[in-house]
Chains A and B, each alone.
Chain A
């Protein structure tokens, strides 16, 4: 009996963490499709800056993970390279890379998500589709404005855990602490410039800026969205590997 009394609060915390995450997920679904231009500024430990530009398109897939297409614009040597991702709720994602110089579409394995995205402090894992089913959750704390929830990955990940501070107003994370495999606090992402979007009768917020600070290397990356449009009904062909070498 004493054992049950000890473990019940742990189950309750896990349930509450999952419940809040599901509530946020439900709130943020229904965006149909999204398109935006993204600018990423990479800052090294000495403060030198370099810019990256890309175009991102996302299509919401009911009952499965989203489909996304990223087209690289800057740096110029990779201009026209495209990455197509079909994320799945439980299964490994499907991912393809189109290399314009070879006119070739390569299937790539999605398990290696821990690598840096375009030399930034963001990893592919940070920017990929965040499916609820891929983590365990634990409720940490709550105040008037925010919830704090810890999540641990169920599959291969570059992190031992992530601690998210989630705004009750925006129903989105405003801060995420990333802990490495040695359980050290490695990176912190700050979400800012929230903007409200209407899709049908639904209203939802999206961050216009993420500032990622690597506490171990002192490097930083700032990702900003411009011309973001929500509720777009993308054509299916936009997210087919067969069409990657046809679109400009």
Chain B
């Protein structure tokens, strides 16, 4: 009898559990970059799978992302986008585990969106987020909510490796964290915390946030000599380890999405405060965007214009930032047909170094209900003239790609 009870309990738990997965077969072909180390052709397999379960007020979710490249052996990853358990009574939600937060209102330039580390392998359009271990609490009241989190562990961003043609990234060692002017640690356990208040006024959705954490929005590196050659002047380093150095930042910001003149106006304004020992200057970043959709034939054309501006920093201080004074113009045409055909085109132009442009074009459509195909082109026009400043780090990241995905 007990066995039957257990069987039925297991069956009922299973019936409240949902599984989903998708397998993608990805191909990338880069323009030859005259670098023997990098791979120009990347055939890869991408597996994403998830499990969700809900029983009364308790729920759990796991969503794992992975990729294996048959040519570039360093291009392998497997990480949780989400893996958490939660208590949720519709008004109070307590969540523990790897979480993925998105507070942004703008689409391309998102200065408010700094909480999770990213996987920078791929296109700028698809920079994926890595789940961050945290304990969070969210309270929903009226048309508002307040959410706070504590994240004790710094998740490392994933940068392309030395064999990857996507950008001029060297082989990076494990990161270190700057704790004081002359003190670093490789310990990734650090107090990180933040929160956001969301509310709606009329046709505007507004968010006010604060984050105090290890900053991963820009990449600083230190060179540690590993070999020396002896010269008459003494030993001179002949090779180096390149080590990413991250440091603390606190950010306060406001975001909004407003329905106005049959369009959506999106804004973000943040202030970043760096401890004195980092040597970095406090500054503000603003982004502004407008999105408008038009019916065109049977389909829908969406136009997006966005800009970002970094206040009070000079060129030297923004050289490690990919987007600091840039504009984007993007178009999406959805055919609204049974195959869900869609064309996207975008161009990002640097307003400071006028010679830098990033173009992206893609076409996607469903094949039946379970398959989806995508082809695209990524083209970077940013010749290295200034020691890898801004988009110069992505020079030679010109590639065409074709992906086909099966959903289960």
CB-CB under 8 A for A92 and B337, given A103-B102, A115-B295, A242-B140: no
| Minimum CB–CB distance for A248 against chain B, Å | 5
Residues 78 to 104 of chain B near chain A (Cβ within 8 Å): 88, 90-91, 93, 100-102, 104
Cα separation A48 to B279 with both chains bound (whole Å): 65
A114 contacts B143, C-beta separation under 8 Å: no
A107 contacts B259, C-beta separation under 8 Å: yes
A104 contacts B368, C-beta separation under 8 Å: no
Cα separation A94 to B335 with both chains bound (whole Å): 24
Q: Which of A42, A115, A158, A238 is the one whose CB lies under 8 Å from B338?
A: A42
Q: Mark A148-182, 1 if CB is under 8 A from B, else 0.
A: 00000000001000000000000000000000000
Q: Which of A42, A106, A110, A241 is the one whose CB lies under 8 Å from B200?
A: A241
Q: Which of A77, A96, A109, A116 is the one whose CB lies under 8 Å from B336?
A: A116
CB-CB under 8 A for A119 and B294, given A109-B262, A109-B264: no
Cα separation A68 to B145 with both chains bound (whole Å): 20
Interface size on B, residues (CB 8 A): 53
B262 contacts A112, C-beta separation under 8 Å: yes
A102 contacts B102, C-beta separation under 8 Å: yes
Q: Which of B20, B61, B145, B263 is the one whose CB lies under 8 Å from A79?
A: B20
- Asked if B170 is an interface residue, CB under 8 A from chain A, the answer is no
B203 contacts A50, C-beta separation under 8 Å: no
| Minimum CB–CB distance for B126 against chain A, Å | 9
Cα separation A217 to B298 with both chains bound (whole Å): 11
CB-CB under 8 A for A240 and B143, given A108-B264, A119-B336, A248-B18: yes
Residues of A within 8 Å of B370, CB to CB, are 75-76
Please tell me the size bucket of the interface on A.
Answer: 35 or more
| Minimum CB–CB distance for A126 against chain B, Å | 13
B140 contacts A243, C-beta separation under 8 Å: yes
| Max count, chain A CB within 10 A of own CB: residue among B140, B144, B405 | B140
Residues of A within 8 Å of B198, CB to CB, are 242
Cα separation A158 to B294 with both chains bound (whole Å): 12
A237 contacts B91, C-beta separation under 8 Å: yes
| Minimum CB–CB distance for B15 against chain A, Å | 14
A246 contacts B88, C-beta separation under 8 Å: yes
Cα separation A103 to B258 with both chains bound (whole Å): 19
Residue of B nearest to A214 (CB): B298
Q: Which of A77, A102, A105 is the one whose CB lies under 8 Å from B372?
A: A77
- Asked if B299 is an interface residue, CB under 8 A from chain A, the answer is yes
| Minimum CB–CB distance for B128 against chain A, Å | 9
- Asked if B369 is an interface residue, CB under 8 A from chain A, the answer is yes
- Asked if B52 is an interface residue, CB under 8 A from chain A, the answer is yes
Cα separation A112 to B334 with both chains bound (whole Å): 13
CB-CB under 8 A for A112 and B138, given A74-B369, A246-B93: no
Residues of A within 8 Å of B368, CB to CB, are 50
Residues 363 to 379 of chain B near chain A (Cβ within 8 Å): 366, 368-370, 372
- Asked if B69 is an interface residue, CB under 8 A from chain A, the answer is no
Residues of A within 8 Å of B22, CB to CB, are 76
| Max count, chain B CB within 10 A of own CB: residue among A74, A114, A243 | A243
- Asked if B282 is an interface residue, CB under 8 A from chain A, the answer is no
A119 contacts B300, C-beta separation under 8 Å: no
| Minimum CB–CB distance for A125 against chain B, Å | 11
Q: Mark B272-296, 1 if CB is under 8 A from A, else 0.
A: 0000000000000000000011110
A237 contacts B259, C-beta separation under 8 Å: no
- Asked if A111 is an interface residue, CB under 8 A from chain B, the answer is yes
CB-CB under 8 A for A104 and B369, given A115-B300, A240-B140, A246-B138: no
B366 contacts A77, C-beta separation under 8 Å: yes
Residue of B nearest to A237 (CB): B90
Cα separation A217 to B337 with both chains bound (whole Å): 12
Residues of B within 8 Å of A44, CB to CB, are 338
Cα separation A162 to B263 with both chains bound (whole Å): 27
Cα separation A246 to B339 with both chains bound (whole Å): 29
Residues of B within 8 Å of A115, CB to CB, are 293, 295, 299-300, 334, 336
- Asked if A51 is an interface residue, CB under 8 A from chain B, the answer is yes
| Minimum CB–CB distance for B187 against chain A, Å | 29
- Asked if A2 is an interface residue, CB under 8 A from chain B, the answer is no
Q: Which of A76, A109, A119, A217 is the one whose CB lies under 8 Å from B259?
A: A109
Residues 204 to 228 of chain A near chain B (Cβ within 8 Å): 217
| Minimum CB–CB distance for B119 against chain A, Å | 13
Q: Mark B184-201, 1 if CB is under 8 A from A, else 0.
A: 000000000000001010
B336 contacts A106, C-beta separation under 8 Å: no
Q: Which of A104, A110, A112 is the one whose CB lies under 8 Å from B300?
A: A112
A75 contacts B340, C-beta separation under 8 Å: yes
Cα separation A77 to B407 with both chains bound (whole Å): 7
- Asked if B59 is an interface residue, CB under 8 A from chain A, the answer is yes
- Asked if A63 is an interface residue, CB under 8 A from chain B, the answer is no
| Minimum CB–CB distance for B10 against chain A, Å | 20
Q: Mark A74-87, 1 if CB is under 8 A from B, else 0.
A: 11111100000000
Cα separation A64 to B385 with both chains bound (whole Å): 60
| CB-defined A-B contacts under 8 Å, sample of 20 | A50-B338, A75-B370, A76-B20, A77-B366, A77-B372, A77-B405, A79-B20, A94-B259, A96-B205, A103-B102, A105-B205, A107-B259, A110-B259, A112-B295, A112-B300, A242-B198, A243-B145, A246-B93, A246-B138, A248-B61
Which A residues are closer than 8 A to B by beta carbons? Answer: 42, 44, 50-51, 74-79, 92, 94, 96, 102-112, 114-116, 119, 158, 217, 235, 237-238, 240-243, 246, 248
18 more CB-based (< 8 A) A-B contacts, given A119-B336, A246-B138: A44-B338, A50-B369, A76-B408, A77-B366, A77-B405, A78-B340, A94-B203, A103-B101, A109-B259, A111-B262, A112-B293, A115-B293, A119-B338, A235-B90, A237-B90, A237-B140, A241-B205, A248-B18
